[in-house]
Amino acid sequence: MQGETSLDEAAGGRIRAVRKMIFSYPNSGDARWNAKRPEFSHIVNAASLAMPYLEPYLIRSMAKVRPQIKDPALRKELDGYMAQETTHYRQHRAFNDTVAACGYACVAPFEEVLKRDYAGFGETRSLLFNLAYAEGFESMALAIGHMLVEDREHLFGDADPGVASLVLWHFVEEIEHKNVAFDVFHAAGGGYFWRLYGLLFATAHIFLRTGQGYRALLKEDGLWRNWRSRWQLACILGRIFRKLTPKMLRILSPGYHPQHVADPHWVEAWWDQYGNTPEPMGRLDTARLAETVPALKAA
């Protein structure tokens, strides 16, 4: 298929491709790419700032354990996972540059904190800890991906199509490679309590840093002390956590495996549509997100 590197079906068929996406980000000098929900814009912006540090850390952790993986099918899936994560952080790096170019003084020091965090985990923590963190992040990302897809019209409706496409594409692929970190973690000897610890640690760490990031961005915009903006922020966070919490709680079960979480129809339709029209998939029509098949914005 044009625009992608296909993966062998013998690998289990879970990761279909390493996709080469083209996104176009706003040049307006305003990082509030969702005019209706500027608070949500900065939640996403803060999370995006972590990706060029978080995802290389995940890749490094998985690369260290790869020689221990004896199953060739799982190794193939692991290679696809690392390739997808590489495309993710590179795209987020490009988007983050547009956020920094808007003049936010908080971006550079916040990125330094994230850089130190993930360098420190890799250098001072055990491989098992790092694999548990990776598995915890991927389980959380699967839950977030389902939440974002289900609530896509409310969260991304009429927003900038490039940024909305970036975020939804990222989580469509998180859903696609949902099994890999879990299977690698267990193949490397991880058990239930380490898995639980990794989930709790990764979730707490990421939510802490994301919260610090969006507060700093909102302060620079003069919105943090605006009571209407704070109310809107509380409403959007309440909506997110109300929808996300049941999806997170199911991960706590000792019998949990991400393969038991059914893929949303919209996600399956996205995979299929990408294969037919790979070039335009970086510009979803954010006025038509309610449709069951991803609708593309006219060029």
Residue spans per domain, the chain: 4-282
Q: Helix, strand, or coil here: 16?
A: coil
Cβ neighbours of residue 25 under 8 Å, at least 6 residues apart?
33, 94, 95, 98, 160, 162, 163, 166
pLDDT digits (tens, 9 = 90+) for 180-226: 999 999 999 999 999 999 999 999 999 999 999 999 999 999 999 99
Q: Give the position of tokens 């890999």.
A: 180
Of all helices (H) and strands (E), which one includes residue 6? Answer: strand 4-6
What percent of the chain is predicted at pLDDT more than 70? 94
pLDDT digits (tens, 9 = 90+) for 15-55: 888 888 888 887 778 899 999 999 999 999 999 999 999 99
> Residue 1's pLDDT is what?
31
Q: Give the position of tokens 């540059």.
A: 97
Topology, domain 4-282: Ribonucleotide Reductase, subunit A (1.10.620)
Q: Helix, strand, or coil here: 111?
A: helix
What is Dmax (Cα atoms) for the chain?
56
Cα–Cα distances in Å, from 122 out to 20, 84, 252, 259, 268? 28, 20, 25, 28, 34
d(CA 174, CA 142): 6
> Residue 278's pLDDT is what?
64
Work out the average pLDDT over 77-106: 96
pLDDT digits (tens, 9 = 90+) for 222-246: 999 999 999 999 999 999 999 999 9
Structure tokens at 12: 């289990």
Work out the average pLDDT over 95-114: 97
Structure tokens at 93: 């790096």
Cα–Cα distances in Å, from 88 out to 9, 59, 165, 232? 22, 11, 12, 29
> Residue 298's pLDDT is what?
74
- Rounded (10°) CA dihedral 230, 162, 171, 278: 170
Q: Helix, strand, or coil here: 298?
A: coil
Q: Helix, strand, or coil here: 127?
A: helix
pLDDT digits (tens, 9 = 90+) for 139-183: 999 999 999 999 999 999 999 999 999 999 999 999 999 999 999
Mean pLDDT lowest among 16-20, 60-64, 188-192, 295-299: 295-299
pLDDT band at 8 (very low <50, low <70, confident <90, very high): very low
Asked whether residue 14 carries a pLDDT value surpassing 60, the answer given is yes
d(CA 54, CA 45): 14
> Residue 276's pLDDT is what?
66
> Residue 171's pLDDT is what?
97
d(CA 187, CA 128): 11
For residue 238, the tally of other CB atoms under 10 A from its CB is: 10
> Residue 2's pLDDT is what?
32
Contact in structure between 296 and 285 (CB atoms under 8 Å): yes
Average pLDDT in the chain: 92
> Residue 273's pLDDT is what?
84
Work out the average pLDDT over 264-287: 84
Q: Where are the alpha helices (DSSP H) in the chain?
A: 38-65, 72-100, 107-124, 127-150, 152-156, 161-176, 180-187, 192-220, 227-249, 265-276
The helix-helix angle for 161-176 and 265-276 (nearest 10°) equals: 110
Contact in structure between 145 and 172 (CB atoms under 8 Å): yes
